[in-house]
């Protein structure tokens, strides 16, 4: 049996940065460290941080101390939350990925220039929730192709003549291109439309490599959080070409599934630590 592990599998730059800085902050041992929501979408990483003393909360009102540290997750949060934390004099460690921050800046810039903003992504995803807070009042979130006409209805009834299209960093590149094409086909030439592909390189490269791997193996194993958007996309891509399974770690993996399988590909989401990928690889390899 041949096992191929994707070169782009595992922690991306933004996740690595968030986890490392968070660990350094805990080591200071001076005050309680809280994190709003999951720092990154991976249970093993979160459990490790909990063991080291990080308290995960869903609302800053849960912080009762006057002096505490608040860590902001890699996907970012609603800007009002950061304002409230600063007003309370909390020590804010903003670990929003710089690439997500760049999208916030683009949204703010075009909002000031009187653009209607179409955000392509998952409406409930923490990153989109945060980005929406930088879009002013004139925006619409498109999750799928079937929402294009509804988005354009809101755009056209707003009376605005400028349209900005941006996307969640972890959105599928193929879907993004398709939605942009549909939008452009529906609009007449009097509309000033600016499209910015804000899908991050790490996501794009990982998705491309996943497709390449999936095309050449009999089974793809995707390792990552089941609540991770970028991991789920890797699974969807794999499924389109071969047999695929999504597991959070090696314990969830039944290696009997791969009896008589000649070639297996392993890919992992951006929040999956290297050790977990390695455990999965070992478990399958030991089966030989
Ligand atoms: S996937 Fe991209 S945008 Fe998201 S945290 Fe990683 S580097 Fe940043």
- Residues 117, 186, single domain; the answer is yes
CA of 179 to the centre of ligand 1 (A): 22
* Judgement on whether residues 187 and 248 belong to the same structural domain of the protein: no
Inter-residue contact 4 to 265 (CB < 8 Å): yes
To test the pocket of ligand 1, the residue of 11, 39, 97 to mutate (highest count of ligand atoms within 8 Å of its CB) is 97
Tell me the whole-structure pTM to 2 decimals.
0.84
Query: Does one domain contain both 27 and 89?
Result: yes
Of 97, 114, 147, the residue that ends a domain is: 97
Query: Could you tell me the two tokens for 243?
Result: 């047999």
Residues 122 and 61 in one domain: no
Please check whether residue 63 is in contact with residue 90, taking contact to mean a CB–CB distance below 8 angstroms: yes
What whole-number distance in Å separates Cα of residue 84 and Cα of residue 94? 13
Residue 282 and residue 20: Cα distance in Å, rounded?
26
Tell me the CA distances in angstroms from 86 to 60, 99, 121, 165, one per residue in order.
11, 22, 29, 31
Sequential pLDDT tens for the chain (288 residues): 899 999 999 999 999 999 999 999 998 878 999 999 889 888 889 999 999 999 999 999 999 998 999 999 999 999 999 999 999 999 999 999 999 999 999 999 999 999 999 999 999 999 999 999 999 999 999 999 999 999 999 999 999 999 999 999 989 888 999 999 999 999 988 899 999 999 998 888 999 999 999 999 999 999 998 888 889 999 999 999 999 999 999 999 998 888 889 999 999 999 899 999 999 999 998 865
127 catalytic? Reply is yes
The CATH number assigned to the domain holding 108 equals 3.40.1010.20
Q: In the listed set 97, 124, 152, which residue is the last one of a domain according to the structure?
A: 97
Residue nearest to atom 5 of ligand 1 (CA): 14
Domain match, 123 and 189 both: yes
My answer on whether 28 and 57 are in the same domain is yes
* pLDDT at 189 (0 to 100): 86
Q: Whole domain around residue 47: which residue ranges?
A: 13-97
User: Strands, DSSP E only, in 129-237?
Assistant: 139-142, 162-167, 192-195, 219-223
Check whether residue 88 and residue 145 sit in a common domain.
Answer: no
Residue 18 Cβ contacting ligand 1 at under 6 Å:
no
Residues 110 and 191 in one domain: yes
Q: In terms of domains, do 69 and 116 share one?
A: no
Q: Which of 127, 204, 209, 248 is catalytic?
A: 127
The tokens 């392993």 sit on which residue?
266
Residues 75, 37: Cα–Cα separation, whole Å: 10
pLDDT at 40: 86
Quick check: CB of 202 below 6 Å from ligand 1? yes
267 lines ligand 1 (CB under 6 A): no
When divided into structural domains, the chain yields a total of: 3
Residue nearest to atom 2 of ligand 1 (CA): 200
Domain boundary among 97, 115, 139: 97
Same-domain check for residues 188 and 252: no
Place of tokens 């314990």: 251
Domain of 77, CATH number, reads 3.40.50.11270
Q: How far is the CA of 66 from the centre of ligand 1 (A)?
A: 32
Q: Do 163 and 216 belong together in one domain?
A: no
The verdict on the CB of residue 95 being under 6 Å from ligand 1 is no
Residue 288: per-residue pLDDT = 59
Answer whether 71 contacts ligand 1 (Cβ < 6 A): no
Residues 180, 162 share a domain: yes
């Amino acid at each position: 049996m041949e096992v191929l592990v994707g070169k782009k599998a595992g922690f991306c730059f933004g996740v690595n940065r968030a986890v490392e800085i968070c660990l350094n902050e805990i080591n200071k041992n001076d005050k309680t460290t809280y994190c709003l929501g999951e720092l990154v979408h991976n249970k093993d990483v979160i459990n490790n941080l909990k063991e080291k003393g990080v308290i995960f909360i869903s609302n800053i009102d849960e912080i009762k101390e006057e002096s505490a540290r608040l860590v902001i997750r890699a996907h970012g949060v609603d800007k009002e939350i950061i304002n409230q934390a600063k007003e309370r004099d909390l020590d804010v460690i903003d670990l929003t990925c710089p690439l997500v921050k760049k999208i916030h800046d683009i949204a703010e810039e075009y909002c000031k220039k009187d653009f209607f903003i179409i955000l392509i992504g998952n409406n409930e995803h923490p990153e989109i929730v945060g980005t929406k807070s930088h879009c002013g009042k004139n925006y619409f979130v498109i999750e799928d192709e079937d929402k294009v006409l509804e988005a354009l209805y809101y755009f056209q009834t707003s009376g605005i003549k400028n349209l900005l299209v941006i996307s969640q960093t972890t959105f599928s590149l193929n879907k993004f291109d398709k939605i942009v094409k549909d939008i452009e086909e529906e609009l007449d030439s009097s509309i000033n439309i600016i499209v910015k592909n804000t899908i991050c390189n790490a996501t794009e490269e990982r998705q491309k490599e996943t497709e390449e791997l999936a095309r050449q193996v009999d089974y793809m194993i995707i390792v990552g959080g089941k609540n991770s958007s970028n991991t789920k996309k890797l699974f969807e891509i794999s499924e389109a070409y071969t047999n695929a399974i999504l597991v959070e770690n090696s314990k969830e993996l039944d290696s009997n599934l791969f009896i008589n399988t000649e070639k297996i590909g392993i890919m992992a989401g951006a929040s999956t630590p290297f050790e977990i990928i390695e455990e999965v690889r070992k478990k399958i390899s030991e089966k030989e």
